[in-house]
Amino acid sequence: MRIMVVAAALILFPLGAWAGEPCAVKRVFDGDTIKVDCAGREETVRLYGIDAPEMRHDFGKEARAFAKGLLDGKAVRLRERGRDHYGRLLAFVILPGGKSLNYELARAGWARVYAGRFAPESDATNDKYTLAEIAARTGKIGMWRRGFPQDAMILRCFIFA
């Protein structure tokens, strides 16, 4: 009986119970990876649907600083989307006030929006994110200020798209 209850709970609530509860941000690794504490359980979270430069690449430090500026001292909520091949939690990170950190990074020009299997959830959300990236590119803001960033981040985007 206990197994049936657990199985039913996993079917009804497959993405965890954190969507409604606040999580404390413990660390910002880079523009798209953070560590949070949700009710005493620490998780490494990879922002879903976007890709920011790695710390060793051009604009990596700037992307991290932007994310850190939005996250410092704040509690966030997570909209989980599963796990990646490293075991990190994939999620939309919702800031106080309801804005998505994922979207804000794309809008500010510090992240590229994934296409294909890692694209933001719905066509409407994907369009919103893609338009934000296009606006950042055409406005030459964030990492787009010098044109198209030529580094391993771009190659990774095409491989996983």
Q: Which of 64, 77, 81, 88 is catalytic?
A: 88
User: Of 114, 120, 125, 123, which Cα lies nearest the Cα of 159?
Assistant: 114
Indicate the pTM of the whole model: 0.79
Q: Is 83 a catalytic residue?
A: no
User: Of 58, 56, 45, 51, which Cα lies nearest the Cα of 31?
Assistant: 51
Domain of residue 71, CATH code: 2.40.50.90
pLDDT tens series, the chain, 161 aa: 544 433 333 333 344 444 568 999 999 999 999 999 999 999 999 999 999 999 888 899 999 999 999 998 899 999 999 999 999 999 999 999 999 999 999 999 999 998 765 566 666 677 888 899 999 999 999 999 987 665 545 545 544 44
Q: Is 46 a catalytic residue?
A: yes
Q: Which of 43, 46, 64, 107 is catalytic?
A: 46
Q: Is 54 a catalytic residue?
A: yes
- Cα–Cα dist 30/27, whole Å: 9
> What domain count does the chain have?
1
69, part of any domain: yes
- Cα–Cα dist 54/29, whole Å: 9
2, part of any domain: no
